[in-house]
Amino acid sequence: MKKAKITFIDTADITPGALQPRTEFDDTKIKELADSIKLHGVMQPITIRKRDEVRVVELNGMTLKSERYEIIAGERRWRAAKQLGLRKIPCIISDADNRQAAFMSLTENLQREDLQFFDYAESIRRIQEQFSIPQNELAKRLCTSQSAIANKLRLLKLSGEERSLIREGQLSERHAREFLRVDEPEIRNKIIEKVIKDKLSVNECIKLIDSTLEHEKKPQKKQHCNLKYAFMIKDIKFFMNSVDRSVKLLSQAGVPVEREQQEDGEYLEIKLRIPKAVSSIAVV
């Protein structure tokens, strides 16, 4: 097998790759890597490729060019080298196209086993959409099962805000998968916040979600009322006619009835005054 040629390239002539799956870099780990490089040097060259477009700008008689290379694998080593102020870094220049570079970058990060699961899912989706690659081919290229790819992509059903909460709360992928069982976004968000606040384990998270879903399934008690009486109460005109008929019947029976009626804002106040001596007369 032909040995790859190692070339030392200016760190300033290199930029992060557009297809880099990792979105977050731990400053502490970069510092630790920089300390290691300071003692032992860059033990493994980074992999780069020439950029499709290099912009040239003329400024005050000087010709300025944008970075000529982009990183396929080894961005953390490049960041650590820049942090140390190293002018050059050992590189392997690849002729990979966009599709090959995307897979190389993702595979390199997966082999290090610390790629955040949302970053992995986002990278899979980006490769799938950009290069129209079906899930079964993705699975073969990444040496995993199609169901594993599908499960990773399902994580992206969580909103950007929810994913940020899960990242910040340092919850596991199993936590994230459990949250997907809750369809209502508002309820799901509250559960995520509670799991983070109470530092719940995966099993405790499962129990919380189970009890929440069980509660949501229970039918809410409804107030039952007699529709006939509900109609009578709502229909004020019908009620007033009933009062008028009652007063008329009492008057016809020789019972003196004093009636006072006034409106008070949203209310209608009615007072009926009947002598006690005839208070036993039925009103029909």
Domain boundaries, the chain: 1-55+63-115, 158-219, 228-278
Domain 1-55+63-115 in CATH 1.10.10.10? The answer is no
CB 175 within 8 A of CB 195: yes
Phi and psi at 15, nearest 5°, equal: -130, 155
Residue 182 CB-half CA count within 13 A: 28
pLDDT tens per residue across span 207-219: 999 999 988 776 6
- Integer Cα distance of 13 and 69 in angstroms: 6
Q: What is the crossing angle of helices 117-131 and 160-168, to 10°?
A: 150
Q: State the pLDDT at residue 156.
A: 95
Block residue for tokens 């880099």: 20
Q: pLDDT tens-digit profile of 30-51?
A: 999 999 999 999 989 999 999 8
Q: Please write the tens of the pLDDT for every residue from 94-111.
A: 998 888 888 888 888 776
In angstroms, what CA-CA distances link 81 with 36, 41, 89, 92, 192?
10, 9, 7, 16, 38
Residue among 24, 32, 53, 75 flagged as catalytic: 75
Of the candidates 114, 105, 96, which has an alpha carbon nearest to the alpha carbon of residue 142?
105
Closest CA to 268 of 224, 236, 244, 234: 236
Is 284 a residue whose pLDDT tops 70?
A: no
Residue 73: both structure tokens together: 């694998």
Q: What is the pTM of this model?
A: 0.60
* pLDDT at site 256: 82
- pLDDT tens by residue, 47-100: 999 987 666 555 555 555 567 899 999 999 999 999 999 999 999 999 988 888
Q: Is 75 tagged catalytic?
A: yes
Q: Residue 250 — very low, low, confident or very high, per pLDDT cuts 50/70/90?
A: confident
114-167 per-position pLDDT tens digit: 788 999 899 899 888 888 888 888 888 888 899 999 999 999 999 999 999 999
